[in-house]
Structure 1
Amino acid sequence: MNKVAGVIFDWAGTTVDFGCFAPVNVFVKIFKTVGINVTIAEARLPMGILKRDHLKVMLEMPRISKKWQEQYGRCFNEYDIDELYLKFESMLLLSLEEYTQLLPGVIETVSKLRKNGLKIGSTTGYTDTMLNIVRQGAKTQGYEPDFWITPDSINGMGRPNPYMIFRNMEALKLTAPWQVVKIGDTEADIKEGLNAGVWSVGVAVGSSQMGLSYDEFIGLSDSEQKSFIRKTEQTFLNYGANFTIATMEEIPELLKNINTLLAKGKRPYALSN
């Protein structure tokens, strides 16, 4: 039958680490070690891509690039990126275990999907070493996807390239991209899904895009929460997302809607047809 057969999740900011703070905090700290103060917003902007690439994008930001030149009297180079990345990796690995808490609704939602016969895949911007820490933390809480992959296995060709999704499809025997849903919390996630030709979905609450911790979010009034959710979902739509959801709990209903579209011959890259 022409129905959704698999869901591919991101990790940090989607299934674990509410607000995606593990890498953000380290990016800020790493730049401080070289005498440059970066903002949380600057650290979040490239979120979801390979971490070395993330550092390069940050260094290319006009304000940060100017600060680097003022600090060192020259433009940054590849050696500088490598040095920053080595510091980043070692610091992140020391703290990553503290950021593996599952987001609300993950266990219940994944259980429902599996009961309906769906395969569960995953992609990430983490390396194998980083993700192994996250996976083990998630596993102890009851979450383990059927397949996982990092940019290490695709020659560093991570998001927004579609190759990690394609490897998920191969491993999970998902034969048609329109029967696959990718769910994530960053621009890189959305574009990864779009480039793979699957249904690309942004999840708002707990996302890096929203940028709030769990305590910050639950401390908001209902109207404030709804405002943050609307703003975040609109940003995902601006990135090109096919759909947005507020929380993981909305996924089963979303899949019903997608199955209705599939029954009508609709495809994620041709919704107007």
Structure 2
Amino acid sequence: MISLVVLDIAGTTVDEKNAVYDVLAAVVADHGTPADDAALRRWMGADKREALAALTGDPAAVEDLHADFVGRLHDTYAAIRPAPLPGVPEALAALRAAGVRVALTTGFDRQVTDPLLAALHWRVGDELDAVVCASEVAAGRPTPHMIHRAMELTGVKDPAEVLAAGDTALDIRAGHAARAGIVAGVLTGAQTREELAAENPTHILDGVADIPALLRL
């Protein structure tokens, strides 16, 4: 039985028009180390500091690069107004009404995550049970640390009771690393069915909106 659903944010529960990767690409290019699409796609879902260090080859500049990334992303979000993906608020409500806890995990830190969730009116204790940022654990995806932290925060001890879902290969790898009972790829983000299928998820879903039906709620 699934008692905890752990979901990514951008591209999985929130439509932000792929802004995070457009901004990431711009910051890396302005550093003088432009990355091609294949390189950027390898870092989808990762901790953004880790991505910036890898893409620029300049770990010493990571904090400045990250500050630039956060500032640009705030400006972009103010212009595009991120919104929940279709059916996601209803899915979250159905899960929690059935007693299934819901946690969000993200490669963003709190500088981005908290204002984004506030704009959506999503709060821990109301729409959510926990939120975990990559900066709050030892390492981001593909390690299982964010999922394990979500389990700690929600009191779930058995990973077989966890459904982990996201729109990137790294989300799926993290779910497998955590030994989650269900590891689902969703097709609402930037990666294709073929890219997700290559990671051997237990399920590929059109979106988070399909999770209640998958769990027969």
Change (3 A) 1:176 1:91: same
The structure 2 residue matched to 1:174, chosen from 141, 144, 156, is: 156
Which amino acid is 1:177 matched to? P
Which amino acid is 2:164 matched to? K
The structure 1 residue matched to 2:96, chosen from 93, 110, 114, is: 114
Corresponding residue number in structure 2 for 1:202: 185
Structure-2-length-normalised TM-score: 0.87
- Stretches (4+) displaced over 4 A: none
The alignment's C-alpha RMSD in Å is 2.3
Corresponding residue number in structure 2 for 1:161: 143
Which amino acid is 1:159 matched to? R
The structure 1 residue matched to 2:72, chosen from 58, 83, 91, is: 91
Query: What does the per-residue CA deviation read over 1:244-265, in whole Å, with 9 as the maximum and x for residues that have no partner?
Result: 1012232122224xx9xxxxxx
SS in 2 for 1:8: strand
The structure 2 residue matched to 1:13, chosen from 11, 14, 23, is: 11
What percentage of aligned pairs have identical amino acids?
28
Corresponding residue number in structure 1 for 2:24: 27
- The answer to whether the 8 A contact 1:135-1:144 is kept is no
Q: In 1, distance between residues paired with 2:114 and 2:28? A: 25
The structure 1 residue matched to 2:106, chosen from 124, 132, 150, is: 124
Measured after TM superposition, the shift of residue 81 of structure 1 is 4.0
Q: In 2, distance between residues paired with 1:129 and 1:83? A: 14
Structure-1-length-normalised TM-score: 0.71
- Higher radius of gyration, 1 or 2: 1
Which amino acid is 1:56 matched to? A
SS in 1 for 2:90: helix
Measured after TM superposition, the shift of residue 6 of structure 1 is 1.3
- The answer to whether the 8 A contact 1:18-1:207 is kept is no
Q: In 2, distance between residues paired with 1:36 and 1:99? A: 29
Which amino acid is 2:54 matched to? V
Change (3 A) 1:116 1:57: same
- The answer to whether the 8 A contact 1:138-1:144 is kept is no
Q: In 2, distance between residues paired with 1:154 and 1:248? A: 25
Measured after TM superposition, the shift of residue 103 of structure 1 is 0.5
Structure 1: gaps of 5 or more residues: 60-75, 210-231, 260-273
Change (3 A) 1:18 1:30: closer
Change (3 A) 1:132 1:175: same
Query: What does the per-residue CA deviation read over 1:20-42, in whole Å, with 9 as the maximum and x for residues that have no partner?
Result: x1211112221332345444453
Which amino acid is 1:240 matched to? N
Corresponding residue number in structure 2 for 1:66: none
More helix by share: 1
Which amino acid is 1:5 matched to? S
Measured after TM superposition, the shift of residue 236 of structure 1 is 1.4
Corresponding residue number in structure 2 for 1:144: 127
Measured after TM superposition, the shift of residue 167 of structure 1 is 1.3
Change (3 A) 1:85 1:17: same
- The answer to whether the 8 A contact 1:151-1:158 is kept is yes
Q: In 1, distance between residues paired with 2:156 and 2:170? A: 22
More strand by share: 2
- The answer as to 2:173 corresponding to 1:245 is no
Change (3 A) 1:131 1:113: same
Measured after TM superposition, the shift of residue 7 of structure 1 is 0.7
Which amino acid is 1:15 matched to? T
